[in-house]
């Protein structure tokens, strides 16, 4: 699936951050909203559940609010653009391939178990926080929300604290 045998160098993180800021500004300017993904995932899941078990979804406190035209919300094109843009960026950079990144001391199966477990915990935390890290950090931070700044400091502190325990997964 690679476009060439040699991957192009990674972007400078400061340049990438500046482009992300431009994208956030354009999101505010064009859509009137910042960036975030967890609300879109909830809408897609609500729409899928409404097709399978409509009575359950109508009486569900969380998903019931998403069944009124769930896929026409502004965040759905953002998520579709995120997936398409990420794929094309990987193709242009020569990094579009299926692989499991892991350290030498861990099996691919164990890496997948930890990745799924971590994703589930992060997803649950995003719903508890009423927003994902992109919505909290980027949008909330850009609007100078004190809660978003506190959240991001807690994320970094938790990441540093957890890294000591998870280091064996990569070494």
Range of the domain at 122: 102-171
Q: Please, are residues 38 and 44 in contact by the beta-carbon 8 Å criterion?
A: no
Whether residues 91 and 7 fall in one domain = yes
> What pLDDT sits at residue 2?
40
pLDDT band at residue 1 under the 50/70/90 scheme: very low
pTM above 0.85, yes or no: no
35, burial (CB in 10 Å: exposed 0-12, middle 13-18, buried 19+): buried
Q: Please, are residues 24 and 138 in contact by the beta-carbon 8 Å criterion?
A: yes
Q: How far apart are CA 127 and CA 88, in angstroms?
A: 29
Q: How many domains does the chain have?
A: 2
Q: Where are the beta strands (DSSP E) in the chain?
A: none
How do residues 82-114 score in pLDDT, each as one tens digit?
Answer: 889 889 988 888 888 888 888 888 889 998 998
pLDDT tops 80 at residue 161: yes
Q: How far apart are CA 45 and CA 67, in angstroms?
A: 10
How do residues 59-71 score in pLDDT, each as one tens digit?
Answer: 888 787 777 777 7
Whether residues 108 and 142 fall in one domain = yes
């Amino acid at each position: 699936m690679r476009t060439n045998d040699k991957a192009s160098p990674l972007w400078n993180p400061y340049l990438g951050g500046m482009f992300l800021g431009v994208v956030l500004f354009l999101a505010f300017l064009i859509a009137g909203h910042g960036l975030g993904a967890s609300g879109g995932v909830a809408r897609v899941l609500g729409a899928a559940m409404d097709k399978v078990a409509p009575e359950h979804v109508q009486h569900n406190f969380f998903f019931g609010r998403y069944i009124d035209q769930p896929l026409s919300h502004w965040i759905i094109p953002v998520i579709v653009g995120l997936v398409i843009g990420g794929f094309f960026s990987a193709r242009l950079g020569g990094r579009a391939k299926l692989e499991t990144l892991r350290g030498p001391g861990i099996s691919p199966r164990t890496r997948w178990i930890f990745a799924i477990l971590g994703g589930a915990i992060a997803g649950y935390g995003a719903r508890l926080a009423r927003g994902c890290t992109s919505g909290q950090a980027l949008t909330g931070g850009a609007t100078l929300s004190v809660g978003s700044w506190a959240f991001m400091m807690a994320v970094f502190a938790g990441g540093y604290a957890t890294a000591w325990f998870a280091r064996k997964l990569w070494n």
